[in-house]
Amino acid sequence: MEEVNKKIKELIVYARGHLDLEKADEIYLENILLGEFEESHPYNNEIDEEAINKLLVPDSIITPLTEYLEREKGLTNNEAERFITKIMGFLTPRPSAVNDKFEKLHKESPQKAADYLYNLSIWNNYIQKTKVDKNLLWEAKFPNNTLEISINLSKPEKNNKDIKKLLTVNLGEKYPKCLLCKENLGFYGNDSHPARENIRFVPLRLNNEEWFMQYSPYVYYDHHCIVLSHRHNNMHIDRPTLNALVDFVDYMPCFFIGSNADLPIVGGSILNHEHFQGGAHILPMLKANVLKEYYILDNVKVSKLDWYNTCILLETKDKNSLLNVAENILDTWKSYDDIDNNILHFTDEQHNTITPVVRKIDDTYKMYLILRNNRTNEKYPDGIFHAHPEYHMIKKEGIGLIEAMGLFILPARLVRQFKEIEDVYGLEDEKIVAKYPDLKDFLPMIKSLPGNNLKKEIEEYVNNTCRSILENVGVFKNTEKGTLGFNKFIEEVRVRYGKK
């Protein structure tokens, strides 16, 4: 079909302008694409190359091709999207070429290298920017800090119990074992695993081991990257983990980097593959002020951050001293109990861990250690230091690295539910639930809204809820009892360090 032949030609022009396609490879790749679409000849009329070169995303070319595959070839939407991913993979430079260009640019500037891989991931449709840009995002400003709230329209909501099961599930011959394995590179995809022909990641050397850096297809913030281990091992937090984080900011000082905690409830959505998350965005926690400076250990300044959860800030120019102090805090916390503040480090399993984050500003390291505990009890079966039940209708998933730093990723269902709240506001509870059954958990919220400006009131309710959730997560609350408990813990850190 002439329509298809034209779009194939446009893809070749697009790849020349955006994906480093060499002129010597154009005929070859055009013939490959013609074969894939079962077309017998190329398009021979004029193409508006100037307009194509101005495109920021390939949507105007690949969307008609996707629709053609569904309409004329009988493919399902998933099958058509996998087919297009394969096509974009053909047009993307080979992994070796991407690695070489990244390293060459890195010698000029780490930021240039980061921008290259980021733009490539958008231009080849691995990051589907048009979909991502539809996510809702706003700021929630409070007296001392600001939170960022996002309603993500492209990622499904996950259950903490399902996440925990992945730690023990027998993967057998599953290939790739998970979405973060290096074997995703070029993977063709299936109904349960997305196609990855167009993914590109670059090799790193962290803590004398092989790692890779790629970008998240969901890009929650600017240059949202994922750094993944070459091995499919469970998440763990120890000195080698901290060392790898510091090595990363030495290599990419333009990015922050952090690791989700290694336990369910307080960890991320993937616990069965060791990985970090980072990027160029300065998340709210990184803007928070110091609440109190405690002492200096071996040139490392130890402070408490003025933040909603419990975060210790370490600052120093000495990498080895930083790791020594951080390891001491981690070891102390792993075995620390404080009954008055509901903290038990172990019952039938380990409960205490940390969420570490690292930045490098000029030659100074800043390491943020968020104290975490995943214990449950009868009152809080989903987690004592997790979002409490009255907030689950807004956010029930684990509060991982990104939320703990002040950027909330809320489920897409809220867009629908907030419209429903506007529709039934003022009705009796029974009538609300009869019309929209899943608003049952929202009844206390609905009753609290004055009703003068519902859109604004709902937003303010969400803002306050997210702040309250972070306060739930804090192991030492910002109360007199919590402050006393934190002071005792930080003194224990100092004493233990002095005994080493």
Taking only the tens place, the pLDDT of each residue in 109-156 is: 999 999 999 999 999 999 999 999 999 999 999 999 999 999 998 766
Please check whether residues 273 and 385 belong to one and the same domain. yes
Residue 459 lies in a domain: no
Compute the 3-state secondary structure of the chain and give helix, strand, coil in percent, each to the nearest 5. 45, 20, 40
Please check whether residues 152 and 16 belong to one and the same domain. no
Which residues are within 8 A (CB) of 210 and not within 5 positions of it... i.e. 6 or more apart?
203, 204, 229, 230
Residue 415 lies in a domain: no
pLDDT of residue 173: 79
Please check whether residues 79 and 210 belong to one and the same domain. no
Tally of domains in the chain: 2
List residues bridging with 204 in a β-sheet. 211
Residue 211 lies in a domain: yes
Specify the 3-state DSSP secondary structure of 68: helix
User: Do strands 407-410 and 146-151 pair parallel, antiparallel, or not at all (unpaired)?
Assistant: parallel
Please check whether residues 174 and 224 belong to one and the same domain. yes
Report long-range pairs for 431-436 (Cβ below 8 Å, ≥24 apart). none
Question: What's the pLDDT tens digit per position in 235-294?
Answer: 999 999 999 999 999 999 999 999 999 999 999 889 999 999 999 999 999 999 999 999
Say whether pLDDT at 160 is over 70. Answer: no
Residue 98 lies in a domain: no
Where a domain ends, among 68, 91, 114? Answer: 91
pTM of the entire predicted model: 0.94
Question: What's the pLDDT tens digit per position in 182-236?
Answer: 999 999 999 889 999 999 999 999 999 999 999 999 999 999 999 999 999 999 9
d(CA 12, CA 28): 10
Which residues are within 8 A (CB) of 497 and not within 5 positions of it... i.e. 6 or more apart?
297, 325, 328
Tokens of 32: 């490959």
- From the list 260, 402, 237, 267, the residue with the least C-alpha distance to 330 is 237
Residue range of the domain that includes 6: 2-91
Residue 302 lies in a domain: yes
Specify the 3-state DSSP secondary structure of 184: helix
Using an 8 Å Cβ cutoff, are 377 and 389 in contact?
A: no
Please check whether residues 206 and 350 belong to one and the same domain. yes
Residue 428 lies in a domain: no
Buried-exposed string 265-291: b where 16+ CB fall within 10 A, e elsewhere: bbbbbbbbbbbbbbbbbebbbbebeeb
**pLDDT tier for residue 157 given thresholds of 50, 70 and 90:** low
Please check whether residues 234 and 379 belong to one and the same domain. yes
User: Do strands 364-373 and 352-361 pair parallel, antiparallel, or not at all (unpaired)?
Assistant: antiparallel
Residue with tokens 């306060």: 471
In 325-410, the DSSP E strands lie at 352-361, 364-373, 407-410
